[in-house]
Structure 1
Amino acid sequence: MRFSAETSTAFNLPPQLPRTPLPTLAPPSLYRPFTKQWLYFNRRFNEMVYQMPRMFPNAGVDNRVICINGVGAQKEFSVLMTDYLPDLHLLQTGQCFPLYVYDDVKAGGGDGPQAGLFAPASDDERKRRDALTDEGLAHFQSAYAGENVGKQDVFYYVYSILHSQDYRERYADNLRKELPRIPCVKTAADFWAFSKAGRKLADLHVNYETVEKYALQIEGGGLLLTDADYRVEKMRYGKNGKDKDLTTLIYNDKITVKGIPLEAYEYVVNGKPALDWVVERQCVKTDKDSGIVNDANDWAIETMNNPRYPLELFQRVVTVSLETMKIVRSLPSLDILALSQQPVSALPPTVTTLAV
């Protein structure tokens, strides 16, 4: 285990970690796309938590965050929404923009000291408010006068715009150098089309563990399979000569999955298809330095109470991938207001200037 210089100095580490148990909680977090892990969080050891205490002040808090690549990321622009605390590298050098922020009332705001990221907080200690500023909302309301545009409408509009292929292609250079700027589309009809599509995308991505499983051909014993037969060590795709057969997945030595639609691989998150993230992360892997074993079967059995979880996750992410691309393809063409027609005579606002 490695510590920063400040943490090592503060706790005189090494030579020895304290043996007395420290007050900690281990909530689930989104570690990689469509992959959850327990987050060991103790404020004495997590030196840099940034604004996360304002987004997720305690386990189970109601929030959603739009996660994007950070500025200067080497991978192509990507975006993913989650309702769990995200890992910094969920998306490469990621940054997050929440639906809500939770201000610490006792500290007079969200930046004061607190016991810990997941310290219990009563309603009197935390005040929830929309992260989108009133100025950010007014920017869009003035663009669509007469429309009942609310803050959540704008939040999901942003999520949808960031999925638009037109947007990503037109502003590819900008997205590598700066945070995304969010333009106003020309018509209210297009605004609502983007906003409603953004809600659908958000629900798909947040609820990926409960969407319908895609009906794949699962070969290898049928009703004779026991729970133990669903143990996974390392999934791999089939072979078609020297090439990968992406329509086939060798789940383990007893189960083979066939009939995977190739269109599902078109949904790419953080540099690779969403399905590849499942194949990569649902495995048994031993860390070379520490010898610690990361076993996806433990999560399946102990947390999900379902030994079939890795296989079913793959099926569900097939559904998520297909439905995501269906929604993305249905988005309106990106027909935006000229700068002179924007609500203010300036560049479109970045996601940061829209929220606090």
Structure 2
Amino acid sequence: MSACLVFGLILLVPVSAGEDSFAQIEEPDIMTGYPEEDAIDEHMHLREQRTQQQYDDGSPSKYDAGIHLLGIGKIDKSEGTYELDFWFWVNVNEEDDPTDFTAVKPEFDFMNAKKIELSSEVIEPHYYETRVQGTFRNAMDFSDFPFEKLNLQVTLEPVAPLDAQNVNFVLDPESRIDPSVFVPGFQLGMFEIKTEEFAYDADETYDRFIANFVVERSPAGSLFKNLFPITLIAALSLIIFWIPENFTPRIYLTAPLLLALVYLHRATVGEIPSVGYMTLFDKIMTIYYVLFLNSLVSLGIQMRYHVTHENDEKVKRINKIMRYFIPVIVVAGLLFIFVS
């Protein structure tokens, strides 16, 4: 009888104690949302659970870390830098945690910051908040240019000796983007906050708080500003296939259009820094250049047969055959874009 009672207590105690235990809270590794939605709100119940938990002496302090983006300034694509203005805060929800920010102010290293300024600090025993304004760095991917998405990242960790043995970041679902944030030429996309451990060596590991704010070009704006002009030029160059035997106007039509295409190509890629890979725009331009090459080769062969052999029937057949290469080039180019 006594053995059954002991066994029952063993089963019941962990269950009852687990309701207020931090270890029982299933913390997400990442939270994502959009400026126009409150997708992170699905995790708001975690804040109420954390307020009920008790501090477990000896375990790392849990810092609820959050960020409120106030503004995005100049984005320098050539250097991969961008200006951000945001509030950052940490909150210790365990009431029994001995942490006292009024005695020792918490400090954080903004790992990817070029230059920052802290202001308007709010310091309470278990709460610290500051406004951060500065320039940050992050690698920018232009492979999808002119439809590229730029990841504006903020990465920070507590100042030594507050490593992962002392402090663990916990995601605060109150993180958000202010509705007033506006980026000229871009629109705000998905944003996310996450934590990860970073090891400098086997004995020195830090918990990092990372916020990613994605800005992207308007698809309609990129289409009409960057792609429509070059597509129109490439389409006009194909008119030469419907002007048979009139070689002079065909030459006058093709040459300036090719020069205009090259000029627009150089002007458009000038918006981004030099990269060692082909962008989406480069791949599209490759299709248009091949179309021009097909037109010029067709024109050259036809002129040869017309002048040297005086065979106009052969000229018409060549014009017709080379015209069939147009859809082949377009289909092959699309496969090149989507496969590579």
TM-score interval for Structure 1 and Structure 2 normalised by the shorter chain: under 0.3
Normalising by the residue count of structure 2, what TM-score does the alignment of the two structures yield? 0.18
Query: Greater relative contact order (Cα 8 A, min sep 6): structure 1 or 2?
Result: 1
Normalising by the residue count of structure 1, what TM-score does the alignment of the two structures yield? 0.17
- Higher strand proportion (structure 1 or 2): 2
Please identify the structure whose Cα radius of gyration is greater: 2
